[in-house]
Amino acid sequence: MAKIRFLGAAGTVSGSKFLIDTGETRFLVDYGMFQGPKHLRLMNWEPPQVKPSSVDHVLLTHAHIDHAGMLPVLVREGFRGKIWTTAVTAELCEISLMDAAHLQEEDARFANKMKFSKHTPALPLFTSEDAEHVMPLFRTIDYDEQTELPDGTQIRFRDAGHILGSATVEVNMLNGRPMRLVFSGDLGRYDALVLRDPAPVIQADYLVLESTYGNRVHMEDDPVKELTAIIKETAKRGGMVVIPSFAVGRTQTLLYLLRDMKVRGLIPDLPVFVDSPMARRVTDVFCRHIDEFDEEAKKVFRETGECPVHCPGLQFVHTREDSQKINDIRFPAVIVSASGMATGGRILHHLKYRLPDSRNTILFVGYQSVGTRGQLLRDGARAIKIHGEMVPVRAQIRTVDAFSGHADSIEIMRWLSKFREAPRLTFIVHGEEESSRALAREIEGTLGWKTHVPRLLESVHLA
């Protein structure tokens, strides 16, 4: 009898990893990194909950670190199967995993130099060499193409609309009693900028469903209006707009909007610094795959011949030295840097320098996990710790929720409405517990489906 074990993203948003064991084959859907509070991050250092060499293959929904970030550890510890995903996701993973390795190596070196780590010496979770060993294992398939794996399992990837290359995964297991498992992955929004709508799925025996915003409805605010006001107000004060942003997806959406706003004359022609080597390389990937954009973004390319996710005044910052030179700028500008939750990366240096100045604005445009610096700032912290120092918060702290890449509860229900019949059981994952349980109640009350919110490491038999 097949069973599923929830190795991550159960009771929390991050660390997506699900193990399916049919008795004849074992495979993982995602193998992501825990992020957020320290007790979650420490789980990344624990021995794998499954023997990596016993896993036949991995099905990867998309390239975000909370879904793909532990693949280097899986491979280092003995996984030798194939990683099935879309071509764009494979390209993005080559960037995101190497970037994650470099950041961890840099942070370890910095911690050893400054002697603020509790461990001597401080070590990275995985190295660049570990990340490199993942790349040869990728095998790519197109959206909507049914592929049969060596063990007879049939898989199909559908566009999830979350980031470029993201997928909902359909798994048809034919050994024993035929059974279809569907993993929603991270569902995107309808009518989102740049990306296509989430593709519908019509049938599943078992559904594993994300619930990041399972208890929320996104405000219908106009992101252009909000962003225009924030940039103009900050520029009038002589300040900088500092935007912690995910390098994959969110930064490109911002650049698309900033391009539109500048072309229409809505904001001053300020310099836009993208201080993230990873975001620069990801933007290049986007520009190579304009065919996967939505129709409106494709139209921009057809009419201008320019990549829609570039904007006038855009400057990519390459070296750490150039990043530090931005501190010398005394005129208004926009700085976009990773990480989006301010948990690491170059954004920390910008926050450390810009937070104490009341002329500046720190603008959040994405989800902030509980316990992250981003969440603390959004909730009104008067000081936060960066590199072992308490930094006073005097800058304006603003949030634009309209940029969310995750479907809200209404959009999730819209996606579910396309199913022709109820799954036998719907597992609610990838959300804080309150969010997951709220979505479970909504599904049960509105659709009459049977749901279950699994605990971390729980196993469930699939009849």
Q: Which of 403, 431, 454 is the last residue of a domain?
A: 403
Q: What pLDDT shows up at residue 96? A: 93
Q: What pLDDT shows up at residue 99? A: 86
Q: Are residues 91 and 40 in the same domain?
A: yes
**Closest by Cα among 164, 203, 170, 196 to 184:** 170
Per-residue pLDDT tens listing for the chain (463 residues): 899 999 999 999 999 999 999 988 999 999 999 987 889 999 999 999 999 999 999 999 999 999 999 999 999 999 999 999 999 999 999 999 998 898 889 888 887 887 666 667 888 999 999 999 999 999 999 999 999 998 889 999 999 999 999 999 999 997 667 899 999 999 999 999 999 999 999 999 999 999 999 999 988 778 899 999 999 999 999 999 999 998 899 999 999 999 999 999 999 999 999 999 889 999 999 999 999 999 999 999 999 999 999 999 999 999 989 999 999 998 999 999 988 899 888 999 999 999 999 999 999 998 887 888 999 999 999 999 999 899 999 999 999 988 888 999 999 999 999 999 999 999 999 999 999 999 999 999 999 999 999 999 999 999 8
Q: Are residues 315 and 422 in the same domain?
A: no
Q: Are residues 152 and 289 in the same domain?
A: no
Q: Which residue do the tokens 């809505």 mark?
A: 266
Q: How far apart are the first and last CA of the chain?
A: 7
Q: Are residues 445 and 314 in the same domain?
A: no
Q: Which of 403, 422, 441 is the last residue of a domain?
A: 403
Q: Are residues 399 and 260 in the same domain?
A: yes
Q: What pLDDT shows up at residue 175? A: 66
Q: What pLDDT shows up at residue 368? A: 85
For residue 209, list its beta bridge partners.
428
- How many structural domains is the chain composed of? 2
SS3 sequence, the chain?
Answer: CEEEEECCCCCCCCCCCEEEECCCCEEEECCCCCCCCHHHHHHHHCCCCCCHHHCCEEECCCCCHHHHCCHHHHHHCCCCCEEEECHHHHHHHHHHHHHHHHHHHHHHHHHHHHCCCCCCCCCCCCCHHHHHCCHHHEEECCCCCCEECCCCCEEEEEECCCCCCCEEEEEEECCCCCEEEEECCCCCCCCCCCCCCCCCCCCCCEEEEECCECCCCCCCCCHHHHHHHHHHHHHHHCCEEEEECCCCCHHHHHHHHHHHHHHCCCCCCCCEEEECHHHHHHHHHHHHCHHHCCHHHHHHHHHHCCCCCCCCCEEECCCHHHHHHHHHCCCCEEEEECCCCCCCCCHHHHHHHHCCCCCCEEEECCCCCCCCHHHHHHCCCCEEEECCEEEECCCEEEECHHHCCCCEHHHHHHHHCCCCCCCCEEEEECCCHHHHHHHHHHHHHHHCCCEECCCCCCEEEEC
Domain CATH for 16: 3.60.15.10
Q: Are residues 286 and 206 in the same domain?
A: no
Q: Are residues 47 and 101 in the same domain?
A: yes
Q: Are residues 40 and 84 in the same domain?
A: yes
Q: Which domain holds residue 353?
A: 223-403
Q: Are residues 243 and 162 in the same domain?
A: no
Q: What pLDDT shows up at residue 259? A: 96
Q: Are residues 398 and 438 in the same domain?
A: no
pLDDT in tens, 375-425: 999 999 999 999 989 999 999 999 998 888 899 999 999 999 999 999 999
Q: Which of 362, 382, 403 is the last residue of a domain?
A: 403
Q: Are residues 185 and 256 in the same domain?
A: no
Domain CATH for 364: 3.40.50.10890
Q: What pLDDT shows up at residue 320? A: 87
Q: Are residues 163 and 283 in the same domain?
A: no
Give the integer Cα–Cα distance in Å for 299 and 319: 34
Q: Which two tokens stand for residue 422?
A: 């109820």
